[in-house]
């Protein structure tokens, strides 16, 4: 059986990755409809030997589609998702629009696939940092019972889109020529700098990005009592996020059990040989399916504490790949409609 698939936001960074992954993973589509804004309509998008003409997104765009992956931002999702759903098209949404909606499953297929099977026409993808963090945390939760998390993210500029990538490149080029440069995408220069500011600040001093790790982790893992303290930081890395995590568990930590938990969990690799300078790094986990865990060590700073480092491609596992994995799951279980 084949499916008619749409991509809303097809010209964006995540949309481009979705096109790539649909082909490389041989997703069973008979038609691919690329949707974007009016200014992109009529342009031709190509991948290998395939070409498509980009269409302006309208209320009629979802007729006859089986699945549409949304990657155009929250306002577009809120407007078009109900319309797509009414047309009988399943929406897999990459924005934050529906993540905390009780009627919408928030899914990482390796963790809570059963939630996706109970959809009512819309399924939400988690925030990129949440997805990558949980790929490291959930195997340990299964082994020891997760209670609390202290996390610091190291987020690549591609998480802010193509303009942020260009800003980093332009600043590096300006520096190499001895020229000055002014930031536009970020409030400060990102080249040779780290910025402890991702998303907007709330009144309590945390950012919206930091609160996503708390709220989304609770929903995905079904842990209402989970405590999370997160600091999100933008770093001058092109692609792939990393997160330093210290977690507290119900049971004492056995490092051999912890290592086995990673080995047994799908789409996570253990890279933990610091004596040989082997640990997960963004340069090795860009455009790679699995996430990676390393720098594992017990700590007494919290009860039954375990500290570790996790790295993953935020454009893939944090967005495009996770969405396609959801679609693959629903196709396998015949739950698209």
The pLDDT value recorded for residue 254 is: 98
In contact, 90 and 34? CB cutoff 8 Å: no
Residue ranges of domains in the chain, CATH in brackets: 3-126+319-332 (3.40.50.720), 130-314 (3.30.360.10)
Rounded to an integer, the average pLDDT of 253-266 is 98
The pLDDT value recorded for residue 199 is: 96
Tokens of 247: 């977690």
The pLDDT value recorded for residue 235 is: 98
Q: What percent of the chain has pLDDT over 90?
A: 96
The pLDDT value recorded for residue 335 is: 86
Q: How many Cβ atoms are within 10 Å of 154's Cβ, its own excluded?
A: 19
Reply yes or no on whether the pLDDT at 337 is more than 80.
Answer: no
Query: pTM value?
Result: 0.95
Rounded to an integer, the average pLDDT of 197-225 is 97
pLDDT digits (tens, 9 = 90+) for 29-68: 999 999 999 999 999 999 988 999 999 999 999 999 999 9
Transcribe 225-264 into DSSP letters: T-EEEEEEEE-S-SS-EEEEEEEEESS---HHHHHHHHHH
Give the model's confidence band at 112: pLDDT under 50 very low, under 70 low, under 90 confident, else very high. Answer: very high
Reply yes or no on whether the pLDDT at 98 is more than 90.
Answer: yes
What are the residues whose beta carbons fall under 8 Å from the beta carbon of 113, sequence distance 6 or more?
107, 329
Give the model's confidence band at 329: pLDDT under 50 very low, under 70 low, under 90 confident, else very high. Answer: very high
Transcribe 147-209 into DSSP letters: EEEEEEEEE-GGGG-HHHHHHHHHHHHHHHTT-----SSSSS--TT--BS--SPBPTTS-BHH
Backbone dihedral angles phi then psi of residue 248, each to the nearest 5 degrees? -110, 140
How confident is the prediction for the chain on average, in pLDDT?
96
91: left (phi over 0), alpha (psi -120 to 50) or beta: beta
Tell me how far apart the alpha carbons of residues 96 and 119 are, in angstroms, rounded to a whole number: 17
Q: How far is CA 326 from CA 43, 85, 131, in A?
A: 29, 17, 13
Q: Which residue has the tokens 């499953």?
A: 105
Give the model's confidence band at 162: pLDDT under 50 very low, under 70 low, under 90 confident, else very high. Answer: confident
pLDDT digits (tens, 9 = 90+) for 291-328: 999 999 999 999 999 999 999 999 999 999 999 999 99
| Residue positions annotated with a catalytic role | 128, 241
In contact, 17 and 38? CB cutoff 8 Å: no
């Amino acid at each position: 059986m084949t499916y008619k698939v749409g991509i809303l936001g097809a010209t964006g960074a995540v949309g481009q990755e979705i096109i790539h992954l649909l082909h490389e993973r041989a997703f069973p589509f008979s038609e691919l409809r690329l949707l974007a804004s009016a200014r992109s309509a009529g342009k031709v998008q190509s991948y290998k030997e395939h070409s498509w003409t980009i269409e302006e997104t309208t209320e009629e765009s979802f007729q006859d589609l089986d699945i549409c992956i949304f990657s155009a931002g929250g306002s577009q999702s809120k407007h078009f998702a109900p319309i797509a759903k009414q047309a009988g098209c399943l929406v897999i949404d990459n924005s934050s629009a529906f993540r905390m909606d009780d009627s919408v499953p928030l899914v990482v297929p390796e963790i809570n696939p059963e939630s996706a099977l109970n959809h009512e026409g819309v399924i939400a993808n988690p925030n990129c940092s949440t997805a990558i963090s949980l790929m490291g945390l959930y195997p340990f939760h299964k082994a020891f019972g997760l209670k609390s998390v202290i996390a610091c993210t190291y987020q690549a500029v591609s998480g802010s889109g193509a303009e942020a990538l260009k800003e980093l490149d332009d600043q590096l080029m300006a520096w190499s020529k001895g020229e000055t440069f002014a930031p536009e995408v970020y409030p400060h220069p990102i080249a040779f700098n780290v910025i402890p500011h991702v998303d907007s600040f709330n009144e309590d001093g945390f950012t919206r990005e930091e609160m996503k790790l708390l709220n989304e982790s609770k929903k995905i893992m079904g842990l209402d009592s989970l405590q999370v303290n997160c600091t999100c930081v933008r770093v001058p890395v092109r692609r792939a996020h990393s997160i330093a995590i210290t977690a507290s568990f119900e049971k004492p930590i056995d490092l051999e059990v912890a290592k086995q938990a990673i080995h047994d969990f799908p789409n996570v690799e253990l890279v933990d040989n610091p004596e040989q300078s082997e640990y997960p790094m963004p340069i090795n986990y860009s455009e790679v399916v699995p996430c990676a865990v390393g720098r594992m060590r017990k700590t007494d700073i919290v009860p039954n504490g375990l500290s570790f480092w996790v790295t993953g491609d935020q454009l893939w596992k944090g967005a495009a790949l996770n969405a396609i994995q959801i679609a693959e799951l629903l196709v396998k279980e015949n739950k698209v409609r």
